[in-house]
Amino acid sequence: MSDNRKIVYRISSYLPRLGLASLALCLGSGIILVFYYRPMGNVFQNVEEITTLVPFGWFFRQLHYGSGQLFVILMLLHTLDHFLRKRYRIYGFKEWVFLISSLFLCFFVLFTGFVLKGDKGGLFAGSIFMNILQSMPVVGGKIAPLFIVPGKSFFFLPYLYHCFFLPVLIICLIRGHIREWFPGRGFLCIGMSGLFLYALLVRPAPDIPPEAAMAVVQGPWFFLGLQTLLRLFPVLFAGLVIPGLFTACLLLLPLLRRSSPDTSLKGRVARLGENGLHYLLVTALCLYGFLTLRAVL
């Protein structure tokens, strides 16, 4: 193996291990926060009290935020690494579906965490999410209340999903893929020291009170591209059709794997189809990056 390939291989194997170390810290700090967090009443005030009145509340909030973000970013990079090296060829359809679903669920956990802050941004993101679900033809009105409801219980369902259902579901989905749950002492130490330093030294972005008057409210970083899409197209198209098509193409990839020899017509068509879909997805990802930049600049 050449030196360059060795380095790439090493980085590839470090990503998921550091990810698991971050997940451990995220779950630990989440369990501490859940003792103080109340999803009913004045949620914004409750979160402010956790930050200012609970001993080390600011530290655990920032640790949870940093470890949660790092975990999901590392999972994204790990999946991108598999995708770009066309490793979906070696996975069965079921395993690939589980892995992609767990990545989407990771983003959903981040999203519900953003809503749980109860500030202007959280309320805004939660309302957009509710509108997208309600825009689903026929079933929208029935599906939306399974995730989020307006009024006093606005934060309750996102809270249940964030703190209980989603972490358990993610762990169940990736269970078959993980060879060793313990990431190794070195990775745990690096993850812990880096994230503890981050929580101690980096000040959290100020939470905006829900009643503050603001013309533009930005969602979490991975939601910005979708926000731009929502400005350009109708909700149903931007919020459901485009993401749905992208997900369907991604899930279909392992099915196009070449089962027939390359030289046969069937084999050549399958290879063409797989390559076409692969580069279509790469283009879609680049476009999403561009839409994200458009939202910030």
Q: Which residues bind ligand HEM (CB under 6 A)?
A: 26-27, 30-31, 33-34, 37, 47, 61, 64-65, 68-69, 71-72, 109-110, 113-114, 116-117, 162-163, 167, 170
Least distance to ligand HEM, CB of residue 278, Å = 28
Least distance to ligand HEM, CB of residue 69, Å = 6
Query: Which residue's CB is nearer to ligand HEM, number 34 or number 280?
Result: 34
Least distance to ligand HEM, CB of residue 118, Å = 8
Least distance to ligand HEM, CB of residue 148, Å = 15
Query: Which residue's CB is nearer to ligand HEM, number 48 or number 81?
Result: 48
Least distance to ligand HEM, CB of residue 90, Å = 26
Query: Which residue's CB is nearer to ligand HEM, number 88 or number 129?
Result: 129
Least distance to ligand HEM, CB of residue 190, Å = 19
Question: What tokens does 236 get?
Answer: 């149903």
Query: Which residue's CB is nearer to ligand HEM, number 112 or number 227?
Result: 112
Query: Which residue's CB is nearer to ligand HEM, number 170 or number 229?
Result: 170
Query: Which residue's CB is nearer to ligand HEM, number 27 or number 136?
Result: 27
Q: How far is CA 37 from CA 42, 47, 48, 50, 129, in A?
A: 11, 7, 10, 8, 22
Query: Which residue's CB is nearer to ligand HEM, number 125 or number 132?
Result: 125
Residues 6+ apart with CB under 8 A from 226: 219, 238, 239, 243, 291
DSSP for the chain reads --HHHHHHHHHHHHHHHHHHHHHHHHHHHHHHHHTT--SSS-HHHHHHHHHHTSTTHHHHHHHHHHHHHHHHHHHHHHHHHHHHTTGGGGS-HHHHHHHHHHHHHHHHHHHHHHHHT-SHHHHHHHHHHHHHHHTSTTTHHHHGGGT--SSTTTTHHHHHIIIIIHHHHHHHHHTTT-S-SS--HHHHHHHHHHHHHHHHHSPPPPPPPTT---S-----GGGHHHHHHHHHS-HIIIIIIHHHHHHHHHHHGGGGS--S-TTSHHHHHHHHHHHHHHHHHHHHHHHHHHHHHHHH-
Least distance to ligand HEM, CB of residue 19, Å = 10
Least distance to ligand HEM, CB of residue 219, Å = 12
Query: Which residue's CB is nearer to ligand HEM, number 212 or number 286?
Result: 212
